[in-house]
Structure 1
């Protein structure tokens, strides 16, 4: 009798342990954990987005610098040409003055060459002797005026982009400070989350391995989700980057953020999608979560602050956050909120 009782205790203990491994985070902390994950994800997305914006703005400033230099050179060259043309016209007018005594007094009464050229008599005299030169002068003045306006517009654009860059950096700094505060204030809870997530990953490892075999062989998954050939290629491409570190604004195998990983993986398969998660969510066809298939994108937030690649049976590949690497996660641990289809 005693032996039977011991066996019952052992069996009960085993089931209790299994329940601990597969269980969701404890009920009393589940909402707190979900809220923390949401805040951290939003902050990381804000930082990644501002890193992308900063790179774009810095590139724009560099381009504008080159355009401004070219525009300034163009205006300078045209002004030099105008001054040379004025000297030539001045010489021509003096020649006319010497040969036409009747017009001599009129020309000397005009104050400055610009006024002289606006004078009907002056214009007529120059046109009679050198119409092409007078036309060139007029067109050059108009062109310089136009180029000067373009230069002023570029200068205004340059100043505006510099202001945007300063605002972007300020926002990025504020987001980083807030993220550091959240991490510091929730150090114990984050350690608990990490431990429980690792337990779940280990518990579901066999299922992950089986899932990969199904994907590689193009088989129907246990949930009867279809794996198309294109989805299979995309999923296997994403698998190559498991273990790559998360990097804010990362878009290459040296380091990815969540949307950078998605953009890279699809690009390797000849499919172009936008850069950031919000734009990715907005650009593709939304589908009900109940209809999600391998190769679809799954999102958190609206507008999205996180994105991942669904690979089947509730799993997705994601670049989670700083300090972590590209990995596979199950939706029971981190449920996605919406889905979209890139593949037809």
Structure 2
């Protein structure tokens, strides 16, 4: 299941960015209590959206991993069942042979055997038939126990998946409610107030940003290619919950798609991505480094160089290039490659 809700024209972010209200000629917030109150309410809504969004991403990862585990367990169960069936067949054959030959004089068996040499060869092992049968039965019981354990594990995993899918659905519904709550609040504002609400002084002109992109010759070639992919999506990309391209993304999904374009796999969760690669000091950032924001982490972007980063910001702003110094709650960076 993938949530595809896009709210444009005024909804504050999943990824938790505080809305920048000041702009050229803007009035102080205290001079506009209506807008000031709206911003305060939107700040609370966006924080909850951020928390829900990361929970949603992490739970989706858990669901994907759980489904893979069930598939692996089912394959193991099928293989184990083949082992158990083979042992059962062997035990039955040994027991049947022992039963058919019991009470028959060995001399008569030798005389009547169509192949005396083969019979004598078999006779040399007859004393071990009971031991072989016991060994087979013990092995069968052990393998049957292993099969039962695998079946219980699979059943437990299926039960866990069902509970997680119910939680996944509940998160979906709560995210929808928060989107609508924020949209209703924005709809109550005047057109002038909405324009001020949508002002983003910390964003950079996309064309201007392209002119000064990536001047670090020491950056890794694959990392640079990942940056170029992300920047290429800025004009055409839209913010969509849980999406990772080719034209719709959420914040961690843009990182997934960008590095996937150069053959590197990332988990689709900002918190999970914070464990990828190695940590990098802010003073040592290079193009392609992943930048993380808020505590607990629930937003990620990609450093471009020149103090800029590209990210899928939120449903209102879609994809954007932003000055790192202006973006709040920076938590650290990770270098994926290089």
Determine if the TM-score, normalized by the shorter chain, exceeds 0.5. Answer: yes
Q: Bigger radius of gyration, 1 or 2?
A: 1
User: Could you tell me which residue of structure 1 aligns to residue 227 of structure 2?
Assistant: 235
| Bigger relative contact order, structure 1 or 2 (CA pairs below 8 A, ≥6 apart) | 2
Match of 2:178 among 175, 182, 186: 182
Aligned residues: 293
User: Could you tell me which residue of structure 1 aligns to residue 200 of structure 2?
Assistant: 200
User: Could you tell me which residue of structure 1 aligns to residue 24 of structure 2?
Assistant: 18
State the 1:88 CA deviation. Answer: 0.7
Name the SS for the 1:42 alignment partner: helix
User: Could you tell me which residue of structure 2 aligns to residue 8 of structure 1?
Assistant: none
Distance 1:181 1:318 in 2: 24
Distance 1:71 1:194 in 2: 64
Question: RMSD of the alignment, in Å?
Answer: 3.8
Alpha-carbon contact 2:26-2:196 (below 8 Å) kept: no
User: Structure 1 pair 63/296, CA: closer, same or farther in 2 (3 Å)?
Assistant: same
User: Structure 1 pair 98/303, CA: closer, same or farther in 2 (3 Å)?
Assistant: farther
User: Could you tell me which residue of structure 1 aligns to residue 139 of structure 2?
Assistant: 143
Q: Is 1:49 aligned to residue 58 of structure 2? A: yes
Name the SS for the 2:288 alignment partner: coil
TM-score, normalisation: structure 1: 0.69
State the 1:323 CA deviation. Answer: 8.1
- Summarize the alignment of residues 97-176 of structure 1 with structure 2, pairs less than 5 Å apart: 130-131=126-127, 133-176=129-172
Distance 1:324 1:97 in 2: 92
User: Could you tell me which residue of structure 1 aligns to residue 212 of structure 2?
Assistant: 214
Distance 2:104 2:315 in 1: 79
Alpha-carbon contact 1:297-1:308 (below 8 Å) kept: yes
Q: Is 1:34 aligned to residue 43 of structure 2? A: yes
Distance 2:26 2:293 in 1: 26
> 1 or 2, which has the higher helix percentage?
1
TM-score, normalisation: structure 2: 0.70
State the 1:85 CA deviation. Answer: 1.8
User: Structure 1 pair 89/194, CA: closer, same or farther in 2 (3 Å)?
Assistant: farther
Q: Is 1:81 aligned to residue 90 of structure 2? A: yes
Task: For residues 270-310 of structure 1, give each alpha carbon's deviation from its aligned partner in whole angstroms, at most 9, with x where no partner exists.
Answer: 54544422122134444555665542222233342221212
Distance 2:123 2:317 in 1: 78
State the 1:250 CA deviation. Answer: 3.5
Structure 1 residues without counterparts, runs of 5 or longer: 1-15, 101-125, 221-225
Alpha-carbon contact 1:296-1:339 (below 8 Å) kept: no
User: Could you tell me which residue of structure 2 aligns to residue 70 of structure 1?
Assistant: 79
User: Could you tell me which residue of structure 2 aligns to residue 304 of structure 1?
Assistant: 297
Alpha-carbon contact 1:48-1:248 (below 8 Å) kept: no
Q: Is 1:278 aligned to residue 281 of structure 2? A: no
Distance 1:241 1:131 in 2: 78
State the 1:151 CA deviation. Answer: 0.7
User: Could you tell me which residue of structure 2 aligns to residue 9 of structure 1?
Assistant: none
Q: Is 1:295 aligned to residue 291 of structure 2? A: no
User: Could you tell me which residue of structure 1 aligns to residue 255 of structure 2?
Assistant: 262
User: Structure 1 pair 229/69, CA: closer, same or farther in 2 (3 Å)?
Assistant: closer
Structure 2 residues without counterparts, runs of 5 or longer: 1-21, 110-121
Alpha-carbon contact 2:215-2:305 (below 8 Å) kept: no
- Summarize the alignment of residues 331-342 of structure 1 with structure 2, pairs less than 5 Å apart: 335-342=328-335
Name the SS for the 1:20 alignment partner: coil
